[in-house]
A and B are shown apart, each in its own frame.
Chain A
Amino acid sequence: MLFCVAGLLASSVLAVAAHRRRLASRSVYGVSFVISLIALAGALVHLVTAPSAAATATLPLGLPWLGAQFRADALAAFFLIVVNLGGVTASLYGFGYGRHEQSPGRVLPLYPAFLGGMNLVVLADDAFTFLLSWEFMSLTSWALVMAHHRVKDNVHAGYVYLVMASFGTLALLLAFGLLAGTEGNYAFAAMRGAQESPTIGALVVLLVLLGAGSKAGLVPLHVWLPLAHPAAPSHVSALLSGVMTKVAVYACVRVLFDLLGEPASWQSLIVLSLGGATAALGVLYALMQHDLKRLLAYHTVENIGIIFIGLGLALAFEANGLTSASALALTAALFHVLNHSIFKNLLFLGAGAVLGATGERDMERLGGLIRRMPYTSFAFLVGCVAISALPPLNGFASEWLTFQAILQSPDLPQWGLKLMVPAVGGLLALSAALAAACFVKAFGITFLGRPRTPAAETARETDRFSLTAMFALASLCLLAGILPGLVIDALSPVTLALVGGRMPLQSDVAWASIVPIAEARSSYNGLLVFVFIALSAPLAAYVIHRFASHAVRRGPAWDCGFPDSSPSTQYTAGSFAQPIRRVFGTSVFGAREHVDMPRPGDLRAAGMHVELHDPIWETMYAPIAGGVGATAEKLNRFQFLTIRRYLSLVFLALVILLLVLAIWP
């Protein structure tokens, strides 16, 4: 595994040297593809065969008395699968897409380094290596976000990302410092054994949620995500959204379940409520967007919320000693991690294909692409169906497991949990329904209907490497949905290690169903549902074509007798979201619509303005930014003092220190 990382880093160095050559893009992506494939295969083998001891390695880098420890246990193997699956598909996509890149020198060296950094974070086994790899991953991704630095918005996005990433690393640094204790045991193995006092444990939980949560996209620390993810090149956006957020989830899982001792139930309450709020707010933000990539980025926030709901439930069950329910919730959360990375990668690659073919990211300037780009639209449709949690695809399987975990929770004794879990269940159901609405909008406005601009009318299908990557991901969506039992069984070593329990062996269950607790209670069979649908639709079509008419005639659209040739009379993204904006947006976003209607006789065009406020930015970040700016203004005066004043400052500091020394007992 480490050799793969070394290979990735070496290829990035080579790319710096050779980026001007013609074949550089293809070779870099090709090498990354091969290396990621090897890493993926290795991680799969490790997870499935489940050796009793984890593979460890120590390199003589890093802290002198510790070295750099690396370890691949079941949890790391699972997340390595997620990371490298993303790497494989993004590299394959980049093979074809990389030709569109205007400034390859800013992307090519950093891409394999980014992949290598993510792998290192998952493999790290001591705090120093972990933090170093985390920072490396953040910096390479920041540089990739700034790759198209001439676009004005990207600079702002990069700046916000850098600030939030630094803040996150600071929080993680403090958390690991607290975990290491006063003796400085930075190795994870030592942290596992040590017992912390409850206050230290509480502080660590909060700091980890701040640090890793901001990288994952928990509300209210998500603000950098919708700015930075769309700014990067498309396959990098896919990696940022689909994979890097999962690495942050890995950090949370590692600390909360592995390194800390027994969790307290109020900590699970925090995780649960953050997860629920993130899920609902993320999808509401996504519904208000008309930029395709920003919509997908906000959607990542929603799915991270769903994952954290599962994690919160697992913590709550673990705090109360219900291990099988805890295993169920943890399996649901990790299954959703895998599913989300699959379909989010697919959707971002599709959005990149659309961007490459039309040059537009704004949905209101697209339309009718289903006829111009049939294969891309089919793959994108599979992604949309999967992310809306519709059977028989994989999104539904993990949401079903999460719902079953929620149904186990009346046994929890704490009152806070008793009131919060039904509310979170309601929020989860609401966010699932709103996600389906959001993707009807995304697919409908972008691909269906009539083209709204000449760019959309003249789009061409993307190259076959990108299509192969997308179809590979789409078929994984279907497979994971039809055979979820395989994934659940593969996850059982992870849950055994983390919470000490596991779900019942799924391969024992007949007909490839999945059974969360016991067969008498509930089960779901994705394969049968898929087979039923796949049989009945063609059967109906055949019967009708054979015995009734199969004639087709083309004509103009009926449109209730008012045919309109202008494509601008179609629904736009804003108009599609208007009912939902009226229902939910007036309270959450302060949405106001204002119609500017000219008086009769005035020839100017009418206009409709929609005003939306981002409540989190306006209540949290704008005051902080304002405060920091004001303080910086005041402190700026220290730049311009005379020499005498500087000397007196030094003198004052010395006197104060001596005073402290004198008074200290």
Chain B
Amino acid sequence: MDTLVFDVAHLLAGGLLLLSFVQLYQDRLYALLNTFAAHAFALALSVAWQAFIQDAPHLYVTAGIALVFKAIVIPVALHRIIQQLGIHREIEPVVGIGKTMLAGIGLVALSMVVMLRVTAEADPLAREDLAFSLAVILLGLLLMVSRRNAVSQIVGFMSLENGLVLAATGAKGMPLVVEISVAFSILIAFIVIGIFLFRIRERFDTVDVHALDRHRGEGGTA
């Protein structure tokens, strides 16, 4: 029974890592948003399971915040903003998707090595959860760095924050987890609103659908 409990925790953390890779794989904006919603949903499940194992009811609140806010509200809001502002919906990677995923594997290996060496004497379940969390954080950063689209950078930042929440809930008895996650969520909301409300789209590489006008007339039949 014990090992099954830990296995499920590992499986959920691994699922989060897998969804980070799936985010790296996407090249369309709506698909990225859907994947991010799944990512947040997996985080909610993982935090809820941790709450169940550690018998810490305040973590259920964190899970609820993750579920409602990040899995439902933010993706829907971003969806509507993208539609209204006409942001073009293809994400151009800086280096190809294959190379990005190869870099992702390298980052996972790095985080495994670092975490498993640094925390050599801690509880095994916590160590591996921390390793997965660090990997999710690094993959979120990779997503931010390797895409030219502003929305994908926001999504990368949010998945990075998901990794932080995972790390925080994995370590038993970390205080104020709920408060910290509420604070982070408000921060993200302000960033999202700020970016789009004040139309700082010029600061990023390409956000506007009018950029496609340059390529009008190219291309042939399918």
Instruction: Enumerate chain B residues within 8 angstroms of A587, measured Cβ to Cβ.
Output: 96, 99
Name the contact of A419 in the complex, choosing from B98, B109, B117 (C-beta under 8 A).
B109
Q: Could you tell me which residues of chain A, from 547 to 587, have a CB within 8 Å of some CB in chain B?
A: 583, 586-587
Bound Cα distance A583, B96 (Å): 10
Smallest beta-carbon distance A502→chain B, Å: 34
B113 beta carbon closer than 8 Å to chain A: yes
- Contact assessment for A415 and B96 in the assembled complex, using a CB-CB cutoff below 8 Å: no
Residues of B within 8 A of A419 (CB): 109, 113
- The interface bits of chain B over 73-114 (1 if a CB of A lies within 8 angstroms of the residue's CB, else 0) are 000000000000000000000001011000000000100010
Residue of B nearest to A415 (CB): B113
Complex CA gap A587/B99 in Å reads: 9
- A415 CB contacts on chain B under 8 angstroms: 113, 117
Which residues of the partner chain A approach B99 to less than 8 Å between Cβ atoms? 587
The residues of A that contact B117 with a CB separation of less than 8 Å are 415
Roughly how many angstroms separate A419 CA and B109 CA in the complex, as a whole number? 7
- Shortest beta-carbon distance from B131 to chain A in Å: 14
User: Which residues does chain A contribute within 8 Å of B98, judged by CB atoms?
Assistant: 583
- Interface members, chain B 90-148 (any A CB < 8 Å): 96, 98-99, 109, 113, 117
Residue of B nearest to A584 (CB): B98
Distance from B210 Cβ to chain A, minimum over Cβ atoms (Å): 29
Once the chains are docked, how many angstroms separate the CA of A415 from the CA of B99?
Answer: 24
Q: In whole angstroms, how far apart are the Cα atoms of A460 and B173 in the complex?
A: 83
- How distant is B155 from chain A, measured CB to nearest CB, in Å? 26
Assign chain B's interface to a size class: under 10
Closest to A583 in B: B98
Report the bound CA distance from A587 to B103 in whole Å: 14
Complexed CA–CA distance, A498 and B41 (Å):
57
Contacts of B113 in A (CB 8 A): 415, 419
- Name the A residues within 8 Å of B96 (CB-CB): 586-587
Instruction: Give the distance to chain A from B105, nearest Cβ to Cβ, in Å.
Output: 9
Q: Which residue of A lies closest to B109 (CB)?
A: A419
Number of interface residues of A (CB under 8 A): 5
A283 to B211, CA, bound (A): 41
A562-615 interface (Cβ within 8 A of B): 583, 586-587
Q: Chain B's nearest CB lies how many Å from the CB of A355?
A: 38
- A419-434 interface code vs B (CB 8 A; 1 in, 0 out): 1000000000000000
Closest to A419 in B: B109
On chain B, the residues within 8 Å of A583 by CB distance are 98
B112: nearest residue on chain A (CB-CB)?
Answer: A419
Q: Provide the bound-state CA to CA distance between A586 and B99, in Å.
A: 11
Expressed in whole angstroms, the minimum distance between the Cβ of A211 and any Cβ of chain B is 32
Minimal beta-carbon separation of A529 from chain B (angstroms): 34
Kindly provide the distance from the CB of A583 to the nearest chain B CB, expressed in whole angstroms: 8
Nearest chain B residue, comparing its CB with the CB of A418? B113
Interface members, chain B 3-40 (any A CB < 8 Å): none
* Cα–Cα, bound, A587→B96 (Å): 9
Question: Nearest Cβ in chain B — how far from A149, in angstroms?
Answer: 44
Pick the most buried of A419, A583, A586: most chain B CB atoms within 10 A of its CB.
Answer: A419
In the complex, A419 Cα to B112 Cα: how many Å? 10
Provide the bound-state CA to CA distance between A583 and B99, in Å. 11
A591 CB → nearest B CB, Å: 13
Min CB distance, A182 to chain B, in Å? Answer: 41
- Closest chain A residue to B95, Cβ basis: A587
Write the nearest CB–CB distance from A25 to chain B, whole angstroms.
53
Least CB distance, A341 to chain B, in whole angstroms: 34
CA A415 – CA B116 in complex, angstroms? 11
Q: Roughly how many angstroms separate A415 CA and B109 CA in the complex, as a whole number?
A: 11
Q: Which of B190-205 contact A (CB under 8 A)?
A: none
**Residues on B with beta carbons closer than 8 Å to the beta carbon of A586:** 96
Q: Which of A415, A583, A586 has the most CB of B within 10 A?
A: A415
Q: Considering the chains assembled together, what is the distance between the CA atoms of A415 and B96 in angstroms?
A: 29
Residue numbers in A under 8 Å from B109 (CB-CB): 419
Min CB–CB distance A397 → chain B (angstroms): 31
A586 to B113: give the CA distance in the assembly, Å: 31
Nearest CB of chain B from residue A410's CB, rounded to whole Å? 14
Task: Report the minimum CB–CB distance from B74 to chain A (whole Å).
Answer: 35
A419→B114 CA distance, assembly (Å) = 13
Query: Which B residues between 32 and 67 are near A, CB-CB below 8 angstroms?
Result: none
A655 to B5, CA, bound (A): 83
B98 CB, min distance to chain A CBs, angstroms: 8
Q: How far is the CB of B101 from chain A (nearest CB, A)?
A: 13
Select from chain B the residue with minimum beta-carbon distance to A586.
B96
C-alpha gap A419/B139 in the complex (Å): 19
Cβ distance A326 to chain B, nearest Cβ, rounded Å: 25
Across the interface, name the chain A residue whose C-beta is closest to B113.
Answer: A415
Q: Roughly how many angstroms separate A587 CA and B98 CA in the complex, as a whole number?
A: 10
Nearest chain-B residue to A426 (Cβ)? B105
Closest CB of chain B to A424's CB: distance in Å? 14
Determine the distance from Cα of A586 to Cα of B95 in the docked complex, in whole angstroms: 11
Taking the closest CB of chain A, its distance from the CB of B141, in whole angstroms, is 21
Alpha-carbon separation in the docked complex, A419 to B98 (Å): 20
In the assembled complex, the Cα of A587 lies from the Cα of B109 at a distance in Å of 22
Interface string of A490-524 (1 = CB under 8 A from B): 00000000000000000000000000000000000
Distance of A586 Cα from B117 Cα, bound (Å): 37
CB of A595 to closest CB in B, whole Å = 12
Give complex CA distance A586, B96 in Å. Answer: 10
Q: Which of A407-423 contact B (CB under 8 A)?
A: 415, 419
Q: Which residue of A lies closest to B99 (CB)?
A: A587
Interface centre among B99, B109, B117 (most CB of A within 10 A): B109
Give Cα distance in the complex from A586 to B97, angstroms. Answer: 13
CB distance from B147 to the nearest CB of A (A): 19
Quote the shortest CB–CB distance from B129 to chain A (angstroms).
20
Q: In the complex, what distance in Å separates the CA atom of A419 from the CA atom of B107?
A: 12
B165-183 contacts to A (CB < 8 Å): none
| Measured CA separation A424–B117 after assembly (Å) | 23
Q: Which residues in chain A, 20-62, are within 8 Å of chain B measured between CB atoms?
A: none
In Å, the complex CA distance between A153 and B99 comes to 37
Question: Smallest distance from the beta carbon of A416 to chain B beta carbons, Å?
Answer: 10
Assembly CA distance A419 to B117 (angstroms): 14
Chain A minimum-CB-distance residue to B116: A415
* Min CB gap A430→B, angstroms: 12
Q: Write the nearest CB–CB distance from A587 to chain B, whole angstroms.
A: 7
- Report the separation of the CA atoms of residues A14 and B117 in the bound assembly, to the nearest whole angstrom: 68
CB B111 to nearest CB in A, in angstroms, measures 12
For residue B107, give the distance in angstroms from its CB to the closest CB of chain A: 13
- A57–B113 CA distance with the chains assembled, in angstroms: 53
CA A587 to CA B100, docked complex, whole Å: 13
Measured between C-beta atoms, what is the minimum distance from B204 to chain A in Å?
26
- Distance between A303 CB and nearest chain B CB, rounded to angstroms: 25
Task: State the CA gap A586–B98 with chains docked (Å).
Answer: 12
Residue ID in chain A nearest B102 by CB atoms: A587
Within the assembled complex, what's the spacing in Å between the Cα atoms of A583 and B98? 9
Question: Residue on B with the closest CB to A422?
Answer: B109
Query: Shortest Cβ distance from A238 into chain B, in angstroms?
Result: 37
Task: Give Cα A273–Cα B22 distance, bound, in whole angstroms.
Answer: 29
Q: How far is the CB of B112 from chain A (nearest CB, A)?
A: 9
0 or 1 for each of A390-420: is its CB under 8 Å from B? (1 = yes): 0000000000000000000000000100010
A597 to B: closest C-beta gap in Å? 11
Chain B nearest Cβ from A606, distance in angstroms = 15
Q: How far is the CB of A442 from chain B (nearest CB, A)?
A: 26
Q: Which 6 A-B pairs have the closest CB atoms?
A: A419-B109, A415-B113, A587-B99, A419-B113, A587-B96, A415-B117
Pairs across A and B, CB under 8 Å, 8 listed: A415-B113, A415-B117, A419-B109, A419-B113, A583-B98, A586-B96, A587-B96, A587-B99
Further 5 A-B residue pairs, CB within 8 A, beyond A415-B113, A415-B117, A419-B113:
A419-B109, A583-B98, A586-B96, A587-B96, A587-B99
